[in-house]
Every structure is written in structure tokens, then in C-alpha cells.
């Protein structure tokens, strides 16, 4: 038996839970708009739909759902994409509608959404990237953001024509997060491994002809600050065709200098142990190399003799202050390379009519309740996912974060209903936002129409011995949707 205080708390918790997920039937549905169909959007929808009065309309700028699960997660990590199975069950709920191919803030203003729904959740992610701010970054051929390269191999329509020139032996990736590891792994993986994945055919074709043999991953700070995770580091160090090069003495020295701190931070201690562990002997020679560098900040992209293409990157050596900030020493080194990927993080952007923190790339919020420029809660506007907390965190982190936001929405629904049931009487939702003719004009794609695209992609993949071959152009996706509509009519 629980002691009385725990019994009371438990009763309160059960009561609160019952209120949040109240299934009281009433004439008026509670209409919620969710903007963005990545994990944040779907996990939020999942939680909100537990209240049986809630109806969710999800708006997505692309004709296809799932955000970075489709366009970010590496093709050789198919197990991560299993979350899509859960999202599919949400898509099948008859209180859920998907409106693909609708960019909120563009074809539909945010204000129109807010005035047509009781509650609006923004979960449109971080669709830009940070720049390095170095000389020649935007003018030389051979310099790409990791975001565009990842989008290219994963079939994002915006990057289908990137065509990176892989006719160079050496590539540099700046940044030491998991995206940098993804980029390096795709560049170095044996092509037979990639052929079995859902990587796009255009990328496979380019990687088959690639001359890249050496990749340098360069960080501005030290081993204690790397943002790789253990599993991903172990995976890349285990590549049988690639020799892993690192200054082990420097890492070991850093470890011994920070022994006390590391005993309190076991995951990082483990990560550093992996970093210095010698590679397992390989059955055959390792023709490729992956070199990890620390304490280097890129300062300039150096052109080749034609002046058009990257030939090297100039780095300033750093030392670390006690507060772990990197400071330039005034001494420079150059690493010759024909390709440079900046992998220094994604960045969120605002949409018209929204108070936005451009420096952090987030919508300011209190546990998911959006705030105005005075720091006051904007009634019935919420934010979840990377747009809420910035562009870090794996899918599980995003799920926890969406749980927090949806709890706030459910609490507010309960309070609003207690205040006045009629408060939720008179909004119209998607039909009111788009209108029937407008919906046709903007070509909104439904979830069942997405399933037609999905089936086609799987079929094309099967012919190539892959799980799927993605359609990479929006026009082609819409053509297929129109065909499916015509067949149904
Ligand atoms: P997103 O997934 O970006 O979803 C946002 C959605 O909003 C997109 O579909 C976008 O098209 C849409 N949108 C944008 N603007 C608008 C608009 N104006 N109107 C309507 N819709 C809009 N995590 C893991 O756990 N495992 C991994 O292996 C892994 N790999 C990753 C690889 C890469 C390259 C990246 C960048 C991240 C990876 N992550 C991984 C992290 C994971 O993808 C994120 O935690 C998660 O996707 C964030 O979810 P989100 O819903 O906030 O954003
Ligand atoms: P990240 O983890 O935040 O790493 C960004 C890296 O860029 C850091 O090393 C950072 O170093 C560096 N950086 C930032 N600004 C810089 C600058 N101006 N100059 C030089 N270096 C700079 O971001 P990410 O790699 O884009 O990943 C985003 C999130 O997705 C992460 O949470 C990641 O774990 C997740 N993800 C997961 C997987 C997976 O699970 N397999 C795969 C991909 C992505 P400082 O610390 O010095 O700023």
C-alpha cells in the first residue's frame, strides 16, 4: 500500500490525466492545426488525438510527409526510419487530415490558420543552415552545406540538381557532429553497401564514379567538446575499407587532464575511449582514410589556379580557454582538398506574422507555449521540435519535446473548456482556410495520395533491389497524385 501522500498524489495524477484525455462528447470538435510533418508534428498529433474531441489538420510544405526522417536520416540507417510505421497509424486516424504541398507563411498565411483553428502548433523544423563566414565560401565550386549534400543523396526536391563534383581525392568536413559523420560515411562507404539502401540513384551514380579517398573531419575545439555519439563513432571507425587517423596522444593527454570531470560524465568518457581505441585489424588493405582534427577554425577557402574551384582550406590553429571557448593563435595551416562541406548545424527561420529569435533560430516559448516580443504567452499558439529548442537532438529527444508541448495544449484545452464551452464553437478548419476551390488550386496532397506515391516508390525500388527509389521532383510527385485522383474519379 502507498503512504497517504503518495496515494493523494496518485489520485491527483489520475484525475489530471482523465481531464486531459477527456472524451466527453459535445457538438463541437476541437480543431488543431499542426504545421510541419516531421517527428515533432507527428508525435504531437499522436498525443492530441488521445482526446477524442480533437481533430488534427497537418500542413506540410512538401507533397510528402516525415521531414528529416525521410530527407535527413542516412540511407544506411533503415532501422531509424521504422518510426514511420507509427506515423502511418496516425495518418490512418479518421480525425487526422494531411495537407501536403502547402507552405504555411507562403501559400497560406499563418494568420489564416490561427483564425480558422482553435489551437495551432508550429513544428516546421530548421530548414536553413549556418555558414562559416569565411573568404570565398559562396563563390568557389566544391563548397556545399552538409544540409544540401544530405538532401541530395536523400532525394529532397530542393537539392536534386546539386550535382557535387566528386572528382577529387580529398574532402573536408567542418564540424564534429553526427551529420558530419553521416557525410563522411556516405563519401567513404563501399558502393555495394549503399546500393542496398534507399539512397537515390542519381547519388549512387555519382558516388560510383567518385574519386574521394580521404576525408578530414575538422573541429574548432577539442575531444571533450565533440558532438558525435558513441554508436555513430564506433560505426565509422569499424569501416573495413577506411583507416581512422587521429592524434591519440593528444586525446589521451586531454583525458588524463580531465579525469575528475570525466568520472562524472560516463557517456563522454566512453566516447573518448572509443576515439583512441585502435581499429580492429582488417582482412584487406584500407585504401581510404578518415582523419579527425581538433583545434582548427576555417578562415579561408583557397581557389585553384583557375580561380573557380576549391584547392585547399586555410585553418587557424586554436587553443582552448578554461571556459572551453576556442581562441585563434595566429598560426595557420592549409589542408588541400577539392571539396568542403560545412556541417556546423541547421538553422530555423521565421514566417511572416510570427515573433522569431533569429539568432537562436527558434520561436521563443515557455515549455512549448509561444511567446510574443514582450515575453507574454500568445494564446493558443505552440511550438515543438527543432523550431522550439534549436537544431539539436535525435528523434527520441524530439518525441519528449513534443510530449511536453502537447501536454500544454491539452491543459489549455481543458482550461478553455472549463471557462466557456462555447469558446470552441465557431471555427471552420481546413475548408475555411483553403476553401474548396483554393484547395484544388494549391493542389493539397492528402495522406492517401501520399500512400500512392509511397507505393510507387517502393515498386520502383524493388526493380532496383532497393527498399525504395524516391521521386525527387515535386512536379513528378504531383503528376502521380493527379493520376491517382483520375483513377479514383
Ligand atoms: P523536421 O524533421 O525537420 O520536420 C519539419 C517539417 O516541416 C519538414 O517536413 C518540413 O518540410 C516542414 N516545413 C518546413 N517549413 C514549412 C512550412 N512553412 N509550412 C509547412 N511545413 C513546413 N535522429 C535520430 O534519432 N537518428 C538519426 O539517424 C538521425 N539522423 C539525422 C540526420 C540528419 C542529416 C539530420 C539533420 C538529423 C538527424 N536526426 C536523427 C535528428 C532528427 O532528424 C530530428 O531530431 C527530427 O527530425 C526533428 O524533428 P522536427 O519535426 O522538429 O523537424
Ligand atoms: P551538432 O551535433 O550541433 O554539431 C555541430 C558541430 O558544428 C559541432 O561540432 C560544433 O562545434 C560545430 N560548429 C558549429 N559552428 C561552427 C563554426 N562556426 N565553426 C566550426 N565548427 C562549428 O549538429 P549536427 O551534426 O548538425 O546534428 C544535429 C542533430 O542531429 C544532433 O543532435 C545529432 O546528434 C542529430 N543527428 C543524429 C544522427 C544519428 O543519431 N545517427 C545523425 C545525424 C544527426 P562547437 O561545439 O564548437 O560549436
Return the domain boundaries, the chain: 4-127+347-445, 131-344
Cα–Cα distance, 76 to 283 (Å, whole number)? 22
Choose among 201, 194, 185, 82: nearest CA to 152: 201
Q: State the pLDDT at residue 421.
A: 66
**Could you tell me which CATH number the domain at 4-127+347-445 has?**
3.40.50.720
Q: How confident is the model at residue 425 (pLDDT cuts 50, 70, 90)?
A: low
Among 277-291, 336-350, 437-451, which is the least confidently predicted range? 437-451
Class of domain 131-344: alpha beta
Choose among 16, 22, 34: nearest CA to 383: 34
For the Cβ of 182 lying below 6 angstroms from any atom of ligand 2, the answer is yes
The phi, psi pair for 73, rounded to 5°, reads -50, 135
For the Cβ of 84 lying below 6 angstroms from any atom of ligand 1, the answer is no
Of 33, 34, 35, 36, best ligand 1 pocket probe by most atoms within 8 Å of the beta carbon: 36
DSSP 3-state helix, strand, coil percentages of the chain (rounded to 5)? 40, 20, 40
Q: State the pLDDT at residue 57.
A: 96
Q: In the chain, how many H helices and how many E strands?
A: 19, 18
Measure 149 CA to ligand 1 centroid, in angstroms: 15
For the Cβ of 75 lying below 6 angstroms from any atom of ligand 1, the answer is no
Measure 195 CA to ligand 2 centroid, in angstroms: 27
Enter the pTM of the model: 0.94
Cα–Cα distance, 173 to 340 (Å, whole number)? 6
Residue 294 class from Cβ within 10 Å (0-12 exposed, 13-18 middle, 19+ buried)? buried
The one-character DSSP state at 225 is G
Q: What contacts 89, CB < 8 A, 6 or more positions away?
A: none
Mean pLDDT of the chain: 92
Q: Which three cell numbers stand for residue 193?
A: 553497401
For the Cβ of 351 lying below 6 angstroms from any atom of ligand 1, the answer is yes
Cα–Cα distance, 296 to 20 (Å, whole number)? 51
Phi-psi bin for 134: left (phi > 0), alpha (psi -120 to 50), beta? beta
Residue 348 confidence (pLDDT) above 80: yes
For the Cβ of 393 lying below 6 angstroms from any atom of ligand 2, the answer is yes
Measure 223 CA to ligand 1 centroid, in angstroms: 27
Q: State the pLDDT at residue 20.
A: 41
121 and 370 Cβ atoms separated by less than 8 Å:
no
Report DSSP letters for 140-163, one per residue: SBTEEEHHHHHHHHTT-GGGTT--
For the Cβ of 72 lying below 6 angstroms from any atom of ligand 1, the answer is yes
Work out whether the CA dihedral 349, 354, 357, 360 comes out positive or negative: negative
For the Cβ of 394 lying below 6 angstroms from any atom of ligand 2, the answer is yes
- The ligand with the least distance to the CA atom of 133 is 2
Q: pLDDT tens digits, residue range 219-244?
A: 999 999 999 999 999 999 999 999 99
Cα–Cα distance, 65 to 219 (Å, whole number)? 33
Cα–Cα distance, 38 to 449 (Å, whole number)? 18
- The ligand with the least distance to the CA atom of 363 is 1
Measure 125 CA to ligand 2 centroid, in angstroms: 15
Count, residues in the chain: 489
Cα–Cα distance, 260 to 268 (Å, whole number)? 12
Measure 178 CA to ligand 2 centroid, in angstroms: 6
- Name the percent of the chain lying above pLDDT 70: 92
Q: How confident is the model at residue 283 (pLDDT cuts 50, 70, 90)?
A: confident
Q: State the pLDDT at residue 47.
A: 98
Among 1-10, 68-77, 151-160, which is the least confidently predicted range? 1-10
Amino acid at each position: 500500500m502507498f503512504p497517504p501522500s503518495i496515494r493523494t498524489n496518485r489520485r491527483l495524477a489520475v484525475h489530471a490525466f482523465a481531464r486531459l484525455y477527456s472524451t466527453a462528447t459535445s457538438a463541437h470538435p476541437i480543431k488543431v492545426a499542426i504545421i510541419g510533418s516531421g517527428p515533432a508534428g507527428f508525435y504531437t498529433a499522436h498525443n492530441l488525438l488521445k482526446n477524442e474531441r480533437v481533430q488534427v489538420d497537418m500542413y506540410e510544405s512538401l507533397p510528402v510527409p516525415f521531414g528529416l526522417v525521410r530527407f535527413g536520416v542516412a540511407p544506411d540507417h533503415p532501422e531509424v526510419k521504422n518510426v514511420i510505421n507509427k506515423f502511418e497509424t496516425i495518418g490512418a486516424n479518421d480525425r487526422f487530415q494531411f495537407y501536403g504541398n502547402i507552405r504555411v507563411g507562403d501559400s497560406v498565411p499563418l494568420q489564416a490558420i490561427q483564425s480558422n483553428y482553435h489551437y495551432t502548433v508550429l513544428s516546421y523544423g530548421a530548414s536553413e543552415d549556418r555558414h562559416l563566414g569565411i573568404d570565398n565560401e559562396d563563390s568557389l565550386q566544391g563548397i556545399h552545406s552538409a544540409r544540401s549534400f544530405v538532401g541530395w543523396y536523400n532525394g529532397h526536391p530542393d537539392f536534386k540538381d546539386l550535382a557535387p563534383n566528386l572528382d577529387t581525392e580529398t574532402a573536408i568536413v567542418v564540424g564534429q557532429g553526427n551529420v558530419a559523420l553521416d557525410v563522411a560515411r556516405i563519401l567513404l562507404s563501399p558502393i555495394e553497401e549503399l546500393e542496398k539502401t534507399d539512397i537515390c540513384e542519381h547519388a549512387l551514380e555519382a558516388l560510383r564514379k567518385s574519386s574521394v579517398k580521404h576525408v578530414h573531419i575538422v573541429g574548432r575545439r577539442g575531444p571533450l567538446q565533440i558532438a558525435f555519439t558513441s554508436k555513430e563513432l564506433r560505426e565509422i571507425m569499424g569501416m573495413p575499407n577506411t583507416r581512422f587517423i587521429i592524434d591519440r596522444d593528444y586525446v589521451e593527454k586531454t583525458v588524463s587532464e580531465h579525469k575528475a570531470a570525466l568520472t562524472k560524465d560516463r557517456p563522454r568518457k566512453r566516447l573518448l575511449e572509443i576515439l583512441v581505441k585502435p581499429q580492429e585489424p582488417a582482412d584487406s588493405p584500407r585504401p581510404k582514410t578518415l582523419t579527425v582534427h581538433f583545434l582548427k577554425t576555417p578562415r579561408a577557402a583557397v581557389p585553384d589556379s583557375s580561380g573557380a574551384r576549391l584547392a585547399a582550406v586555410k585553418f587557424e590553429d586554436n587553443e582552448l580557454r578554461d571556459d572551453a571557448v576556442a581562441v585563434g593563435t595566429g598560426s595557420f595551416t592549409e589542408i588541400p582538398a577539392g571539396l568542403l562541406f560545412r556541417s556546423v548545424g541547421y538553422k530555423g527561420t521565421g514566417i511572416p506574422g510570427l515573433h522569431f529569435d533569429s539568432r537562436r533560430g527558434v520561436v521563443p516559448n515557455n515549455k512549448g507555449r509561444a511567446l510574443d516580443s514582450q515575453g507574454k504567452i500568445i494564446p493558443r499558439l505552440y511550438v515543438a521540435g527543432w523550431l522550439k529548442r534549436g537544431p539539436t537532438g535525435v528523434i527520441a529527444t524530439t518525441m519528449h519535446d513534443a510530449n511536453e508541448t502537447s501536454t500544454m495544449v491539452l491543459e489549455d484545452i481543458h482550461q478553455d473548456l472549463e471557462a466557456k464551452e462555447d469558446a470552441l464553437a465557431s471555427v471552420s478548419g481546413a475548408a475555411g482556410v483553403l476553401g474548396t476551390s483554393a484547395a484544388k488550386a494549391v493542389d493539397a496532397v492528402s495522406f492517401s495520395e501520399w500512400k500512392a506515391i509511397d507505393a510507387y516508390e517502393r515498386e520502383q525500388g524493388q526493380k532496383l533491389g532497393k527498399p525504395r527509389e524516391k521521386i525527387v521532383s515535386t512536379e513528378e510527385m504531383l503528376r502521380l497524385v493527379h493520376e491517382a485522383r483520375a483513377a479514383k474519379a
